[in-house]
Amino acid sequence: MSPWRLKEDSRASTSGRLGRFSSGLVVTELALSCLLLIAAGLMIKSVVQLKTLDMPFAIDNVLTARIDLPRETYPDSAASIRFFEQLLPRLQALSVAEAATLSDGLPAAGNGLIAVQVAGQPYPQETEYPQVREGIVTEGYFDTFQTPVLRGRAFTPGDNATSQPVAIVNESFARVLFNGEEAVGRTMKRMIKNRSEPWLTIVGVVPDLLMEGIGNSNANPIGYYIPIAQSDVANGVRIAGRTKGDPASATSSLRGAVASLDPGLAIYETDTMRTVIGRQTSFYTLFGTFFMAFGICALLLAAAGLYGVVSFTVTQRTREMGVRLALGAKTGQLTTLIMRRSVIQLAIGLAIGLTLALFASGPLAPVLYHVDPRDPGVLVAVTATLAAVSLTASFLPARRVARINPVAALSGD
């Protein structure tokens, strides 16, 4: 075999290996781009859902703060409750406040789960007790957040430690645990190990206030509220006040009300309710930005890879293109011939990327807000974007075929 022939065989073998490696790399980049862009699209759609969400409670002109009572001064729940019962009227009497309340948590912040027993319903095993969310609040809670009591009544100052134990349930509780029947007047009790809990009479029904928390769209929303005076509340509570003007301007008045009872106490985490909600939803913005940044980087890498592979192909097939042009091939035919490989790579990359996205839909679902992990709009948008960018990146070097001089191409080394 001639040295020239050996040289050509070696060049063809090397070109083939490089071509296969480059093609595999491009397919991988396309698949990753597809996966990351779909994740980014779903997160962005979640952000849009949250931005347009109409909260079922007031968030404007509501100031919140946290207060913790030291154990040395307030050793048990009874001591804490006495302080809270004295503090609430002072908060409500502030000239800057339209309404005020104390609670163990804020709406949409996520209340913990507790097992309950509903009177008249059988529970053969302890594991069958329904798990629901509990809120511990004072009177004025629903007024502060401008939440209507749908049936029955709200809590009053008369709901204290010596009165009949009561509860208010949300709509999900009434619908699920009472099968849509009237809940007011029914009884229930908390099921806590090694403790004898009293039966609670349900005195009201209120709308769902996102007791499962924002972002837990698949979590259990069933919940109820009990008066703080009839609870074993811990030393820390949240203060919430609906103000007559700018909430921030009421901070000093809030501090003054607390200091008037105990000068050694301080309030902290003082924020408007809108800020609190914004902080709880920042996760979606952060991860949406994160996925979008990586998705765009992967998309640019895939486009650059396709451009490089097609440029490499054009360079390696220069003599072939020259022969085809000399034999009468049209420019469009040569461009299509060059791009055919890119289209195949694109199709394979998209197929792999979409498959990975479908497999990832399960783990991704808990971090989405009211968005289907297989949302067709997002899938179509990502596929169309990837196809447009990739085909453009492939077309630019393929277009150079039209500029090949057949004589120069045939005489080149």
Verify that 165 and 191 share a domain, yes or no.
yes
For the cut 70, the answer to whether the pLDDT of residue 181 exceeds it is: yes
152 pLDDT band, cuts 50/70/90, is very high
The reported pTM is: 0.74
273 in a domain, yes or no? Answer: no
Place of tokens 């971090």: 367
For the cut 60, the answer to whether the pLDDT of residue 17 exceeds it is: no
CA distance 188 to 181: 15
Verify that 301 and 174 share a domain, yes or no.
no
**pLDDT for res 15:** 47
Maximum separation of any 2 CA atoms in the chain, in Å: 108
Domain span at 29: 3-53+282-411
Average the pLDDT over each of 11-15, 133-137, 317-321 and give the range with the smallest value.
11-15
Verify that 179 and 91 share a domain, yes or no.
yes
**pLDDT for res 13:** 45
405 pLDDT band, cuts 50/70/90, is low
Average pLDDT estimate for 116-126: 85
11 pLDDT band, cuts 50/70/90, is very low
CA distance 310 to 130: 62
Verify that 250 and 323 share a domain, yes or no.
no
Long-range contacts of 192-197 (CB under 8 A, 24+ apart): 192/114, 192/115
Of 143, 134, 130, 135, residue with least CA distance to 91: 143
CA dihedral 223, 225, 226, 227 (to 10 degrees): 170
272 in a domain, yes or no? Answer: no
Of 329, 291, 289, 334, residue with least CA distance to 310: 334
Verify that 210 and 126 share a domain, yes or no.
yes
274 in a domain, yes or no? Answer: no
Verify that 46 and 90 share a domain, yes or no.
no
- Looking at the structure of the chain, the number of domains it has is 2
Of 40, 15, 5, residue with least CA distance to 299: 40
Q: How do residues 61-120 score in pLDDT, each as one tens digit?
A: 999 999 999 988 898 888 999 999 999 999 999 989 899 999 998 998 888 899 999 998
Verify that 25 and 135 share a domain, yes or no.
no
CA dihedral 6, 7, 12, 18 (to 10 degrees): 120
Interacting residues of 303 by C-beta distance below 8 A, sequence separation 6+ = 389, 390, 392, 393
For the cut 90, the answer to whether the pLDDT of residue 297 exceeds it is: no
Domain boundary (264, 299, 319) is at 264
65 in a domain, yes or no? Answer: no
**pLDDT for res 153:** 96
Torsion angles phi and psi, residue 131, rounded to 5? -95, 120
Q: How do residues 335-383 score in pLDDT, each as one tens digit?
A: 777 778 778 888 898 899 899 988 887 777 777 777 888 899 989 988 8
Between helix 3-51 and helix 273-316 the angle, nearest 10°, is 160
**pLDDT for res 240:** 94
Verify that 130 and 254 share a domain, yes or no.
yes
Per the prediction, the chain carries an average pLDDT of 83
Task: Based on DSSP, count helices (H) and strands (E) in the chain, helices before strands.
Answer: 10, 11
Which helix (H) or strand (E) segment holds residue 375: the answer is none
Verify that 136 and 19 share a domain, yes or no.
no
Average pLDDT estimate for 289-315: 75
Concatenated DSSP letters for 182-210? --TT-EEEE--TT--PPPEEEEEEE----
Verify that 256 and 142 share a domain, yes or no.
yes
Please calculate the CA angle 146-152-155 and round it to the nearest 5 degrees: 60
Domain boundary (234, 264, 294) is at 264
- Let me know: does 284 contact 214? Beta carbons within 8 Å: no
Q: How do residues 253-270 score in pLDDT, each as one tens digit?
A: 999 999 999 998 989 989
Verify that 85 and 203 share a domain, yes or no.
yes
Domain boundary (202, 234, 264) is at 264
**Other CB atoms within 10 Å distance of the CB of residue 354:** 18
- Let me know: does 188 contact 199? Beta carbons within 8 Å: yes
Average the pLDDT over each of 91-100, 128-137, 219-228, 332-341 and give the range with the smallest value.
332-341
